[in-house]
Structure 1
Amino acid sequence: MRKWLWLTVILASFIAVPQVHAAVKLSTTQTVQQQHLQEFVTQRLLTKQGIYTNYLDTKQRTTTASGHEMLSESAGYYLQHLVLTGQKKAFRTFYQQTVTTFYSHDQFSYRYDPRTKKRSTVNASVDDLRILNSLLAYDQTSKTTHYQKTATSLYRDLQQHSLIKGRLYDYADGQTGKHAPTITLCYLNLKTLRHFEGKTAKGRQQWQRQLKLVKRGYLGSVAPLYKTRYNYQRKVYTNSKELNIVESLLTMLHLAEVDQLPTASQQWLQQQVAAGKLYNRYDQKGKALTSDQSAGGYALAAMIGQTTGNAKLYQAAIQHVATFQITTQSSPLYGGLGDAATKQAYSFDNLTALVAYDLAL
């Protein structure tokens, strides 16, 4: 390949896609699917304390949340749903409950066990930022300043633990004050960070470094996905043999929200979704390592389509989301996204799908 042509290909892969929200609309069938999904979430997963991680409970407790444990991740997505659907009173009530359930040591614990009433001592910075984003969105859509002081206060608390001198860390321990040495790239919610950091010259410089850190994790046009995390102490990206597609999609979504998603990434995503081959894990050359797929992955693809103004991507992705929906009326999972045989229905899949539906006009 000639040198000038090679340079053209490389540069084209980094052209950012303008953020023009797609004028996507749901069909009558899709509106019914959305309603049934919302009913499942509110009737089967939502409780007074929060949202179950899985419809099916388990007595076992592992390193990852399961059963009727609760995650701040779920709280953030449900708050986004309430904003997008204009449920102001429900939003205010659920936010207060989120604070009661998860807030401790000036941050949101990432995990709560209602059986033992114990919170994890660590947060997940991506979840804190998602909750912050929902507060900003509430004020924006409601044309109020109801949560302005709250959001600013929460951001300052984050700066004391997980966001130090412009470096966002995966988590911090509220009891010991120690934080992770790494940042997972999809944790960098660039739009939310820009809102707070864009007000001063120093803040804007910090945000530019955060953006650069994400963009440098780009694998290339052949496999336009992203490396998983960066180690601040060692100053290197981790060389993950397996890439979790949800993490790469979240990174893509955060880039799209600030007009920085490479064209190659969007084209690759559209090809995978159109073919129904958006798999859960890939290697760094873009080879699928599994045939498993998830509703959450397709829901994130739909969000990216809406954010970038790609109605074709949105519609293709949301149609795949619907294939995971339980349609047997006698099933306790009716309307939800999961496995009717095992009764497994995870909050992440159901809530990301709910938000993806909500984004339609």
Structure 2
Amino acid sequence: MKTVQHLKDKGKKTAVWMSVILLVIIGGRLIYGNEDNQDTLTFLKTSLTNDNHTPATYMKPETALDSDEVQGRESLSESMGFLLLYAVEAGKESLFEEQYQLLVDYFMDEEGLIYWKIDSSGSPGVPVNALVDDLRIVKALYAAGDQWNKTKYTDTAEQAGSYISRSLTYQSTLVDYSDQSSGGTAHSLTLSYIDVEGIDLLRQQGHIDPDVYDTTIDVLEEAEPKNVFYPKAYSVEKDSFSYDEEINMIDQMITANNRAQLGLPSNALISFIKEEMEQNGVLYGRYNPSDFEPVVKYESPAVYGFLIMYAIQLEDKELALKAYDRMTAFRSNHMSYRGGYSIHEGNTHIFDNLVPLLAIEKLKHTGWI
């Protein structure tokens, strides 16, 4: 018969081993959390980079039927914005310089227009830009100029900011895009494009008047959720909001995060998100706003990446780590794709890799991983 002391000793050993296992698990998250972005950067370089070093949107060079859609190896200003923001966040000056050169060589014209997309050889198509991408790039350029004391970054930010002020307003409101070939601008503003930090930076630097800032921010403040979800866009011309029939959760979280930067709560939306995560363990890409049921069965690492950044804004560690664990479940350990996210039939979208890249870097800075 085992003695009481023997059982106590065995219990102590079990407790020690459980502690060791727990430390290994936690340590594994910490260690891998410090390594995974390097794996993802390597994947981006080997699988999602064109011969001219511009970031490719897809791994495969497929051609879309609609020329307005992104073709396989085309390169987006959206990708440049996320890469530049990541380089600043991670303190990678050489990476920033590399992407900066690509920006000025391929994406910007002499007027300060940033093309929303270029082809795989670096040739631009129609001279159209996108407000949200421009704002990310401008934020990154100003931050890099301050961080590394490089005036050329600040000068380029000034050039891009000046173009936004000249070309992206309608009735004293910032709008989605401008088309240099026609001289026209959009008459609407997508709510997820209202990057409060970027717009405030334009105001501070004197690129937009206070009334343009106020009118644009008012759109975000006045947006009312319908059945939990925020409007997709605001028509400046009609002074009215429009709502999607299918809700894109990325748009919702970016909009809520933008509002949070103004100190505005989004209680109904965050309650829905938490309930989905608690009950189903997942957050799908699109939902029906009438019955709150998912209309797709796919998950996106980008959805979880934006949820992480929103949770950081809310100082909600538990939610951030839930999103982190689910997001990294889509990261490949396969030798050919190690570090890449959502690889399906040898293909992936760069957006589903860049958003996690930035989200993880921001999460590291909180000390939560």
Q: TM-score range by the shorter chain?
A: 0.7 to 0.9
* Aligned-partner Cα distance in 2 for 1:82–1:136: 13
Cα pair 1:83 1:138 within 8 Å, conserved: yes
Query: In the alignment, is residue 135 of structure 1 matched against residue 138 of structure 2?
Result: no
Counterpart in the other structure of 1:170: 176
Residues 258 and 92 (structure 1 numbering): CA distance in 2 closer, same or farther, change over 3 Å? farther
Query: RMSD of the alignment, in Å?
Result: 2.4
Aligned-partner Cα distance in 2 for 1:268–1:216:
21
1:35 corresponds to which of 29, 35, 38: 38
Corresponding position: 1:88 with 2:93: yes
Residues 114 and 328 (structure 1), Cα distance of their counterparts in 2 relative to 1, 3 Å cut:
closer
State how far apart, in whole Å, the 1-side matches of 2:218 and 2:242 are: 16
The aligned amino acid for 2:273 is L
Cα displacement string for residues 87-114 of structure 1 (whole angstroms, at most 9, x for unaligned residues): 1132123112112211135311101112
1:263–1:136 CA distance, 2 compared to 1 (3 A): farther
1:338 counterpart (331, 335, 342)? 342
Q: CA deviation at 1:36?
A: 1.9
SS of alignment partner, residue 178 of structure 2: coil
Give percent identity, aligned residues only.
Answer: 21
Matched, 1:268 2:272: yes
| Deviation sequence 1:233-279 (CA, Å, 0-9, x none) | 12211232112111112212222334334333333333334443311
Matched, 1:203 2:206: no
Q: What's the CA shift for 1:64?
A: 1.3
Match of 2:49 in 1: 46
Q: Secondary structure at the match of 1:57?
A: coil
Alignment match, 1:123:
129
How many angstroms does 1:319 deviate by? 0.9
Q: Which residue of 1 is the match for residue 20 of structure 2?
A: none
Q: How many correspondences in the alignment?
A: 331
Q: What is the aligned counterpart of 1:324 among 318, 322, 330?
A: 330
8 Å contact kept, 1:228–1:247: yes
Taking structure 1 as the reference length, the TM-score comes to 0.84
The answer to whether 1:257 aligns with 2:253 is: no
Contact 2:77 2:117 in 1 (8 A): yes
**Greater helix share, structure number:** 2
> 1:136–1:148: 8 Å Cα contact kept in structure 2?
yes
How many angstroms apart in 2 are the aligned matches of 1:113 and 1:69?
Answer: 4
1:241 paired to 2:257 = no
CA 1:353/1:163 → structure 2, altered by over 3 Å: closer, same or farther? same
The separation in 2 between residues aligned to 1:106 and 1:146, in whole angstroms, is: 14
Residue 73 of structure 1: aligned partner = 78
2:62 matches 1:58: yes
Give secondary structure in 1 for the equivalent of 2:118: strand
Say which is worse superposed, 37-46 or 282-291, in terms of deviation. Answer: 282-291
Give the CA deviation at 1:219. Answer: 1.0
Is the alpha carbon distance of 1:118 and 1:138 closer, same or farther for their aligned partners in structure 2, counting shifts above 3 Å? closer
The 3-state SS of whatever aligns with 1:82 is helix
Distance in 2, matches of 1:80 and 1:125, equals: 16
* Aligned-pair CA distance for 1:194: 1.0
Correspondence for 1:10? none
Residues 326-353 of structure 1 deviation map (CA, whole Å, 9 limit, x = unaligned): 2222xx323201234x112111010001
Give the Cα separation in 2 of the matches to 1:29 and 1:97.
Answer: 30
What's the offset of the Cα at 1:29?
3.0
Question: Higher relative contact order by CA 8 Å / sep ≥ 6: 1 or 2?
Answer: 1
2:231 corresponds to: 227
TM-score, normalization by structure 2: 0.82
Q: Which runs of 5+ in 2 are unaligned?
A: 1-27
- Structure 1, residues 175-221: CA drift from partner, whole Å, max 9, x if none? 22101121111111111111222577x9344323222212332315x
Per-residue deviation, 1:160: 1.2
Q: 1:170 touches 1:184 (CA, 8 Å); kept in 2?
A: yes
Runs of 5+ consecutive residues of structure 1 not aligned to the other structure: 1-24
One-letter amino acid of the counterpart of residue 276, structure 1:
G
Give the letter aligned to residue 319 of structure 1: D
- Find the structure with the greater CA-based Rg: 2
- CA displacement at 1:116 relative to structure 2: 8.0
